[in-house]
Amino acid sequence: MLKNICQQCHLLQSVRTVILRHCSTEVGSHKLATKKVKTRAAGNTNESFADHCKVRVRGGNGGDGSMVFLRQAFKEFGGPAGGDGGNGGHVIFRASNKISNLNLVRAVYQADEGGRGEGNCCHGKSAEHLYIEVPTGTIFKELETQKLAADLSSEGDMFLAARGGAGGRGNHFFLSNEMRVPRICEEGGRGEEEQYLVELRVMANAGLIGFPNAGKSTLLRALSRARPKVASYAFTTRKPHIGMVQYNDYAQVSVADIPGLVTDAHKNRGLGFSFLRHIQRCSCLLYVLDLSQEEPWQQLEDLKYELEQFEAGLSERPHAIIGNKIDLPKARKNLDLLREKVQLPVYPVSAKFLLNIEELKCHIRKIYDEHIDKS
C-alpha cells in the first residue's frame, strides 16, 4: 500500500511539472509565466474597492476630578482626598502593508473617555488610544480647507488625528498652605473633533481606461481572480475593482477596473470627477478600445482628451493600447486601421474567450518592470 501511495505522489509531481512548463513564457530576461492559482470561489465574491472616503474623528473626553474629603476613624481632619480624572484616548491612524484599500474605514470614530476620579486620592483610569490601520500611501486632507494634514508613506507611520481631553484635577491637587480646605475640582477636557478627506495616493499599478461596455470588467476577470459584475448594459461598474496578476517569480501587479468614462467627463458630467480621480491614482494606464465599434482610434483620442482636460499630462503616463473583442465581426479590419492611425503597438485580445491574454500579461509585466518597479 505504501508503494502505491509513493507512485501516486510521483505521478502528481510529474503532472505538475508538465503544466508549469506548458504555461511558462520567456520575454527578455524575465520568466513571465503566470502563477498557478487555486480555483475561483463558487459563490458571489464581488467586492468593490474604496480609494477615498470622508471620516469624522473625535478624541475621548477626559474624566472629571472629584471633590471628596477624607472621613476615617481617628482622623478628625482628614483633609481633601479627591483624585484626578483619567485622560481621554487619542484617535491615531497607522499605515500597514496588510491593508489594501479603505473599505474598512468607518465614517465616524470615537475614542474612549477617561475614568472619573474617586475618593481616597484614587485617580481615574486613562483610556486606551484608538488605532485605525490604513494602507501605506494614504494621505489625509482637512475637509474644509483641503490642506494636506498627513502623508503616511511608509509602513508604521502614524497620524494623530484627534487628541483626547486631559483629565480634570481633584480637590487634593489644590491643597496648599493658603488653601487647606479646597472646595474646587476640574471637569475633564473635551476631546478634539476633526473631519478629514482620506485618499490613497496610489490605488493600483495599472488602470483599465475605456468607455462603457468596452469590456474592462471582463478583461479584469480574464487577467486575475477578481469578480466584478459583468452585464450587457452600460455602467455595470460603479466603483473600481482591483485584481492581482500573479507571476511565477512571485511578483504581483495590481490592475484596477475603472468605471467607464463618458463624453465631457472633465466637466463633471455624470460622475466624471469621481471616476477621473480613480485614474489619477494609477501608475500606468491601459486604454481598452472596443474593436467592434466604428473608428476605434477616435475612442483613444476622446479618452486622452478627457484626461488632459482634467489634469495636464495625465494621458502621457506610461500606457498601452488594448483592442478588445477581436472575436467579433469587423474587428480584424478595424484592428488594421487602428494600427495605421496610432504609433504605439496595439494588443488585440478577446477577454470573453481568453484570446492573447498571456501575451497581454507579459506586456503588463514589462511595463511594471520598466516604469513602476523602479520608481
Can you give the three-state secondary structure of 146-191, one letter per residue? CCEEEEECCCCCEEEEECCCCCCCCHHHHCCCCCCCCCCCCCCCCC
SS3 21: helix
SS3 307: helix
Strands 282-290 and 138-142: unpaired
Provide the pLDDT for residue 323.
92
Provide the pLDDT for residue 10.
52
Ramachandran region, residue 309 (left: φ > 0; alpha: ψ -120 to 50; beta: rest): alpha
Strands 148-152 and 130-135: unpaired
Helical spans, DSSP H, in 233-344: 272-280, 296-310, 331-341
Provide the pLDDT for residue 17.
44
**pLDDT tens for each residue of the chain, 375 residues long:** 444 545 555 554 554 444 334 444 444 444 455 555 555 555 445 555 677 899 999 999 999 999 999 887 877 778 899 999 999 999 999 999 888 888 889 999 999 999 999 988 899 999 999 999 999 889 999 999 889 999 998 899 999 999 999 999 999 999 988 888 898 999 999 999 999 999 887 778 888 988 888 888 899 999 998 888 877 666 666 677 888 899 988 888 989 888 877 666 655 565 556 677 778 888 889 999 989 888 888 888 888 888 888 888 888 888 889 999 998 888 888 888 888 888 888 999 998 898 999 999 999 999 888 876 655
Compute CA distances 204 → 112, 268, 281, 358, whole Å.
35, 23, 7, 20
Ramachandran region, residue 313 (left: φ > 0; alpha: ψ -120 to 50; beta: rest): left
Count of positions (residues) in the chain: 375
Is the CB of residue 322 less than 8 Å from the CB of residue 347?
Answer: yes
The three cell numbers of residue 228 are: 466584478
C-alpha to C-alpha distance for 132 and 104, rounded to whole angstroms: 9
CB within 8 Å of 345: residues ≥ 6 apart: 320, 321
Is the CB of residue 137 less than 8 Å from the CB of residue 101?
Answer: no
Q: Bridge-partner residues for 252, per DSSP?
A: 246
The three cell numbers of residue 203 are: 490605488
Is the CB of residue 217 less than 8 Å from the CB of residue 241?
Answer: yes
Other Cβ atoms less than 10 A from the Cβ of 283: the count is: 20
Q: Bridge-partner residues for 355, per DSSP?
A: 350
Beta strands in the chain (DSSP E): 26-27, 30-31, 52-58, 91-96, 108-110, 130-135, 138-142, 148-152, 158-162, 193-200, 204-209, 241-246, 252-257, 282-290, 319-324, 346-348
SS3 36: coil
Sorted by where each starts, the structural domains of the chain and their CATH numbers stand as 50-201 (2.70.210.12), 206-374 (3.40.50.300)
> For the chain, what is the largest distance between any 2 Cα atoms, rounded to a whole number of angstroms?
105
Q: What angle do CA 343, 310, 344 make, to 5 degrees?
A: 10
In the numeric block, the cell 489644590 is attached to: 174
